[in-house]
Structure 1
Amino acid sequence: MEPCCGNLEVDVNGEETFMVDKTVITQYSSKFAKLFGKSSGAARGKLKVIFHDFPGGAEGFELMLKFCYNNGTTDISPSNLFLARSAAEYMEMKEPVADVSNLLEQTEKCLQEISYWTWSELLVALKQCQNLLVPDSSVMVERCLDTVVGRLLLASEASPCPSTSSTDSSWIRFSCDSKSTESVKTSFSRSSWWFEDLLFLSPLLVEELAKSMLSRKMDHAVISRFLLYYQKAKFSSAKTDEKSKIIEMVIDMHYVMDQSSVPCKTLFGMLRLTLGLNISKCSRSKLETMIGSQLDQATLDNLLVPSPFGINYLYDVNLVLRFLKAFLRQGNGLVTPFQMRKVASLIDLYIAEIAPDPCLKASKFLALAIALPDSARDSYDELYHAMDMYLEVHTQLSQEERLKICCGLNYEKLSPEACQHLSHNTKFPSKSTVQALISQQSKLKNLLHDSLSTTSYNASPCGSGGAAQKGQNDRTREEVVLYAGNFDLSNDNEKLKAHLQGMQWRVMELEKFCRKMQIQMAKITKSKTSGHGYPKSLPKLCS
C-alpha cells in the first residue's frame, strides 16, 4: 500500500525502493524510532535508508508496511508467518512505540495454533523458513519441525493413508475406503510416504529434523531409510560441495543412532560415495569407526577400496588398518571369539589379494599380518601362503626384510603340510625354516609323551586298548617319518635331521615294548583263569 506522504526512501537489499511515511513507520518500529529520534514532524529533505540483509527482501518489507499502514493489523497465516515474524524481529517491533498493536504478538498467536495446521501448511511454512535462512536455533524452526515429527509419529501409530503436499484440507486422510487403502499400499510404505514431501529441506534442516526424531524416540531404522533416500535423491542434481555437505550430515546422524539399524552394506555404500568427495576428517573418522565395529560382517569385495590419489598401492591398505583398529578398540567385552575369527579369516583373504601388488611395501604387509592378536587364528596356513606369494613377487627384498615379514607367522599353528612346504621354500630365510622345524619337533615330543602315557594307561590286566594303541603308534610313526624323511635340510641342520630320525627309532622301540607288554598281559589273564598265581615281576619300562 503506497503511503500518501513519502518522506523516507528505503532501499531493500537492492531489490526495490519504497517511499514511506517516517512518522507512520516509527510508531511500530523501535529500529526506526532509535534511528530518527523522537521527532515526528516532516523533514526538510528526504531521507534514505539502505538495507542489505532485510529478511524476505522486498516481500518481507512490504508485508511489514501493510501492518503499519493498516493500523497495526494484517492477515497472518502459515504461508506468511515466518516472513512476518522475521521482518518484525529485524525492525524491532517487539514493543510498540505508541499504544498500538504488536506484530510479534500477532505472529506468536498464529504460531500457537501450529498444532491445527494442515500437513500442506506445515510444508509451506518450512519452505518459507528455509528460504529466509532462519538460524537453526530459532524457536520457530524448532516448533515447526517438532510438529512435523509429532504428525509422523501419530501417522505411524494410526497407520493412516498418506497425503502429500497437495491442496487437501487435512494433513492426513483418516477415513479411507478399502479400495483407496489398497491403492496406497501398492505405491507407498506406511513408514515412508512422507519421504518425498521433505526432499525440499536443506541438509541443515534435515539434520535438525533427524535430531528431533531421535529425541522423540522415532524408529531409527525409519530415520536411516529417510536419510539415505534424501541423500540419493539430492545427489543426482547436487554440486560437488553440496554432495559433501549432504553425505557429512548423513554420516553424522547415523553415528549417533543405534548401530544395529545401519547394515554394514549401507556403511560401505556411504564409503564409496565419499571417495571422490572432500569431506571433513571428523565425518570420515566416524564412518570408519562405524564400519570397524561391524567388520565381522564385511566381505572381501567391501575391503577392496582403491587407493587415494597419489598412493601407488593398488588398494587402500591404510583404510583397512584403520578398520582393524576401530574393531579392536571395542574391547574384549564387545568382540566375541567367533567375531574375531571371522575378521581374521577376512583379513587373510585380503592379504592374499593384495600380496601380488608390486608396489606394496613390506611394512604395510607386515602391519596387516600382525594387526590381530594370535588368538584370532586357529591356523596360520592362509597367512603363510599369502607371505609366500608376497615374497615371490617382491624378490628385491633384503634378508632382514624377509625375516621381519616372517615374524608375522606363528609356527606352532602351521599344519604339517605347511611346514613341509616351508622346509623346501627357498624364498623364506633359513632361520624361518629352522624355527618351523623346531616347532614341529616340539609337537612330536608332545605326541610321543602322549603316546607313552596312553600305553601305560592301557597296560591293564584285561589287555584292553591294544588294537587302538597300535593304530595310534602307527600314526605317530607315520608323522615322524614325514618330518624326518621328507625335510630337505641344509648341511648346517644335519644334527636336527639326525635327532628327528632318532625320534623315529624310539617310536619303533616303543611299539616293540607295547607288543611285549601285551603278550605278558595275555599270559597273566590265562594264568589267572587256570588257577595259577601271578608272576613275581613284570618287565620294567625301558629308559
Structure 2
Amino acid sequence: MKFMELGFRPDTFYTVESVRSVSSDLLNDLIIQVKSTKYLLHKFPMLSKCLRLKNLVSSQSLETETSQDQQVIQLVDFPGETEAFELCAKFCYGITITLCAHNVVAVRCAAEYLGMTEEVELGETENLVQRLELFLTSCVFKSWRDSFVTLQTTKVLPLWSEDLGITNRCIEAIANGVNVSPGEDFSTQLETGLLRNQSRRRRDEILCNGGGSKVESLRWWGEDLAELGLDLYRRTMVAIKSSNRKISPRLIGNALRIYASKWLPSIEERSADSNLVLESVISLLPEEKSSVPCSFLLQLLKMANIMNVSHSSKMELAIKAGNQLDKATVSELLIPLSDKSGMLYDVDVVAIMVKQFLSHISPEIRPTRTRTEHSRSRSEENINLEEIQEIRGSLSTSSSPPLLSKVAKLVDSYLQEIARDVNLTVSKFVELAESIPDVSRICHDDLYKAIDIYLQVHEKIEKCERKRLCRILDCKKLSVEASKKAAQNELLPLRVIVQILFVEQARATIAATTNNITTNETSVLRRSFTTRREEGIEEERDETKPSGGFLQSTPSRFMALCAIPRQPKKMLCKLLSISRSLSQRI
C-alpha cells in the first residue's frame, strides 16, 4: 500500500483531561470544539491555512469585542471524526503526518470543510487539498488495492465523497484495473489483503512462479468486490460491464456468483435486505448465453419465488435459464411455489423455460399436437405395418437433435416428480407434456411412467380427465416392456389398452411376416383384437354423443354389445398372452 508523508517536525500534541494541546512557548489563543474533544491551538498556523476558521474567528471577534473571555469555536457539522481534524491541524503546524488509502478520504473531506485550499495559502507551497489530490491521482488511483480500500472508506462519508468525486474516481480506477494481464503491472494489481487465505496463497504462487493461466489470474477481483456493500458493488459492476476494456462475460458471471454466495442467505435465513441483493444480482447478469451456469440461474429463481421479487425479474431468470435448459437437472427444476394455489412446484415457469429453449434452439420444430388434434382418439388411427416398423427403428436411431431429445427426457422425468403433487391439475400436466415436440420425444416410456404415477396419486379424477391425460401418450412409441406393463394397468382408459394391444398385434404381424409364424395364430390374434377395438371405438363414440343421443345410437350400441365378450378382462389377458407367445417364438 502506498503512502505519503507531509511535514518534518516531531509530534508535540498531548492530552490533559480530554483536552488536546500543542507544546509551545506561546500561549494558546484558539479553542476549537470537534465532537467531544476540545483543542487548544494557535491562531497563526491554523488561520493561515484554514479559510473557514479564519472567517469564524473574524465573525467571533466582532461579537466579543467587549468580552474578555475567549469563546470556543464549535465545528458542529465537521465531517468525520477528530482524528481527521487533528491530522489537518498537524499539517498546519508542520508536524509530520502519514497519509494512505485508509485515511485519505477522511482527511480530504476535513480539508475541504476547513477550506484548506490555495485561496488562503500564503507563499508558493501548496495547501493540503492540492497535495491530497496529487496523492490520489498519482498513487491511489494507480493501484487496485489502494483504490479498493479507498472506495470502502467512502461509505463512512458518502455525501462528501460523492460531492468531491472520490467515489466515482475509485470505481473508474477499479473498472480499468479488472482486465489486467499477468505481465501488465500484475504484482501491483494483485496486492490485496482482502482475499481468503486460500485465494491469497494461490495468488502468491502465481506471482512467485510467474505461471498460472490468464483465467485463473483474473478471477481474484470477484472475491475482492464481494466485500463491498450493495450500492457500491452494483455501481462498480455496472462500470466494469460498460468499460472500454473487453471483460469476459464468464468472469462477470463468476463475480456475481461469488457475491450472491456471500450476501444471499439460505431460504430459511433470508433477511429484509435479501430482496434488494437478489434484484441487483439479477439486473447485473450478462446477456450472453452460458456466461452464468444454469444451476446458478435456477437457484436464483428458487429464491425469487420464495422472496416474491418482481415478475419481470423472475421472467428474466426463466428466459436465461431456458436458453440452456439442456444443462439443468430435475432437482434444479423443482422450484417451490409460494402462492395460494396449493401446488408444491412452479410448473408455469418451467413451461416458460421449455418454450424459450425451443424457440432458441430450433424455432421451426412443430410442437406436440394441440388439444383439437387430440380430440380424436388415437385408438381410431389407421396404423399400418410400415408405420409400426418405422417407429420401431426410430427408437434406436432418431433424427431429433440431441439437445431436444435431452430436454424431452428431462421434462418427462420432471413430470414424474410433479405427478406426486395432489394439487397438480390435469391441465398443468398436459400443457407441459404437450410443449415438447413429437419429434424430440423418441420414446414414451418415461411419459407413461409419469402418467401412471399421476393416476395412482389422483385416483378420484373424472373419466374425461383420465382420457384427456392419456391422449398425450403415443402407444406406438412404447417399448415392448412398457407395453406389457401398460396393457395390464387397470388405471388406464379402455381405449389406451386397445391401442396398446393393436400396436402389439401389428408388431407381431411384422414379426410373423419375417419369421413365417403360422397363419392360424396370426389370424386368431387379429380376430381377438378386432373385437376389442370395435368395443373401444363404440365406447368413444357413445361418450361424444349429446345427452339425448342414446336413442339415435341404439343400433350401433346393440351391435357393439353383441360383439363385446362377457368377460373383457379375461379376453385382454388371453390376447396379451397370445401376443407374448408370438414374441417368444420370434
Give the TM-score band, short-chain normalised.
Answer: 0.5 to 0.7
Aligned partner of 2:469 in structure 1 is: 405
**1:43 is matched with which residue: 56, 60, 63?**
63
Aligned partner of 1:363 in structure 2 is: 427
Give per-residue Cα distances to partners, 1:382-430, cap 9 Å, x unaligned: 3234223312321211233334434544567667887787676553445
Q: How far apart are the structure 1 equivalents of 2:335 and 2:460?
A: 27
SS of the residue aligned with 1:240? Answer: coil
Return the offset for 1:352.
1.6
The answer to whether the 8 Å contact 2:512/2:522 transfers is no
Query: What CA RMSD, in Å, does the superposition of the two structures yield over aligned residues?
Result: 5.5
Q: TM-score when scaled to structure 1?
A: 0.63
Q: How far apart are the structure 1 equivalents of 2:52 and 2:487?
A: 93
**2:169 is matched with which residue: 131, 136, 143?**
143
Aligned partner of 2:418 in structure 1 is: 354
**1:222 is matched with which residue: 236, 251, 274?**
251
Aligned partner of 1:240 in structure 2 is: 271
Does the alignment pair 1:122 with 2:153? no
Does the alignment pair 1:154 with 2:180? yes
Q: How far apart are the structure 1 equivalents of 2:164 and 2:308?
A: 30
Give per-residue Cα distances to partners, 1:341-390, cap 9 Å, x unaligned: 32121111111222233332333322322233444434444323422331
Q: Residues 316 and 224 of structure 1: is their aligned pair in 2 closer, same or farther, counting only changes over 3 Å?
A: same
Aligned partner of 1:342 in structure 2 is: 406
The answer to whether the 8 Å contact 2:47/2:53 transfers is no
Aligned partner of 1:181 in structure 2 is: 208
Give per-residue Cα distances to partners, 1:324-350, cap 9 Å, x unaligned: 344345474599944333212111111
Aligned partner of 2:138 in structure 1 is: 113
Aligned partner of 1:86 in structure 2 is: 109
Q: Residues 202 and 381 of structure 1: is their aligned pair in 2 closer, same or farther, counting only changes over 3 Å?
A: same
Instruction: Flag structure 2 segments of 5+ consecutive residues without an equivalent.
Output: 1-19, 23-27, 195-202, 366-399, 540-558, 564-586
Aligned partner of 2:237 in structure 1 is: 210
Return the offset for 1:293.
1.5
SS of the residue aligned with 2:290? Answer: helix
The answer to whether the 8 Å contact 1:76/1:106 transfers is no
Aligned partner of 1:384 in structure 2 is: 448
Q: How far apart are the structure 1 equivalents of 2:254 and 2:136?
A: 30
Aligned partner of 2:292 in structure 1 is: 262
Q: How far apart are the structure 2 equivalents of 1:114 and 1:251?
A: 35
Q: Residues 382 and 184 of structure 1: is their aligned pair in 2 closer, same or farther, counting only changes over 3 Å?
A: closer
Give per-residue Cα distances to partners, 1:438-458, cap 9 Å, x unaligned: 9979x98xxx9xx9xxxxxxx
Return the offset for 1:179.
11
The answer to whether the 8 Å contact 2:147/2:170 transfers is yes
Q: How far apart are the structure 2 equivalents of 1:195 and 1:19?
A: 47
Give per-residue Cα distances to partners, 1:227-268, cap 9 Å, x unaligned: 434444556899834555555444433x22533232223434
**Any residues of structure 2 matched to 1:47-86 within 5 Å, and which?**
51=76, 54-63=78-87, 69=92, 77-86=100-109
Give per-residue Cα distances to partners, 1:58-113, cap 9 Å, x unaligned: 4445455566x559x98765443322333455667788479896655443333321
The answer to whether the 8 Å contact 1:296/1:342 transfers is yes
Aligned partner of 2:391 in structure 1 is: none
Q: Residues 381 and 108 of structure 1: is their aligned pair in 2 closer, same or farther, counting only changes over 3 Å?
A: same
Q: Residues 437 and 195 of structure 1: is their aligned pair in 2 closer, same or farther, counting only changes over 3 Å?
A: closer
Q: Residues 340 and 19 of structure 1: is their aligned pair in 2 closer, same or farther, counting only changes over 3 Å?
A: farther
Letter in 2 for 1:225: N
Deviates more, 1:154-163 or 1:291-300: 154-163
Does the alignment pair 1:252 with 2:283? yes
SS of the residue aligned with 1:154? Answer: coil
Q: Residues 431 and 495 of structure 1: is their aligned pair in 2 closer, same or farther, counting only changes over 3 Å?
A: same
Return the offset for 1:482.
5.5
Q: How far apart are the structure 1 equivalents of 2:127 and 2:526?
A: 98
Instruction: Flag structure 1 segments of 5+ consecutive residues without an equivalent.
Output: 168-175, 452-467, 499-543
Q: Residues 140 and 315 of structure 1: is their aligned pair in 2 closer, same or farther, counting only changes over 3 Å?
A: same
Q: Residues 179 and 309 of structure 1: is their aligned pair in 2 closer, same or farther, counting only changes over 3 Å?
A: closer
Q: Residues 90 and 412 of structure 1: is their aligned pair in 2 closer, same or farther, counting only changes over 3 Å?
A: farther
Q: How far apart are the structure 1 equivalents of 2:456 and 2:482?
A: 16
**Any residues of structure 2 matched to 1:137-536 within 5 Å, and which?**
139-158=165-184, 160=186, 164-165=191-192, 181-182=208-209, 189-193=216-220, 198-214=225-241, 215=243, 216-233=245-262, 240-241=271-272, 245-253=276-284, 255-256=285-286, 258-271=288-301, 282-308=312-338, 312-328=342-358, 330=360, 332=362, 337-409=401-473, 426-429=490-493, 436=499, 471=514, 484-486=527-529, 488-489=532-533, 490=535, 492=538
Q: How far apart are the structure 2 equivalents of 1:26 and 1:415?
A: 96
Letter in 1 for 2:156: N
Letter in 1 for 2:231: L
Q: Residues 371 and 224 of structure 1: is their aligned pair in 2 closer, same or farther, counting only changes over 3 Å?
A: same
Give per-residue Cα distances to partners, 1:464-509, cap 9 Å, x unaligned: xxxx9964997999988766534745384676999xxxxxxxxxxx
Number of equivalences: 458
The answer to whether the 8 Å contact 1:344/1:377 transfers is yes
SS of the residue aligned with 1:110? Answer: helix
Aligned partner of 2:373 in structure 1 is: none
Q: How far apart are the structure 1 equivalents of 2:513 and 2:521?
A: 12
Q: Which has the higher contact order (CA 8 A, sep 6+)?
A: 2
Letter in 1 for 2:147: L
Q: Residues 198 and 166 of structure 1: is their aligned pair in 2 closer, same or farther, counting only changes over 3 Å?
A: same
The answer to whether the 8 Å contact 1:420/1:486 transfers is no
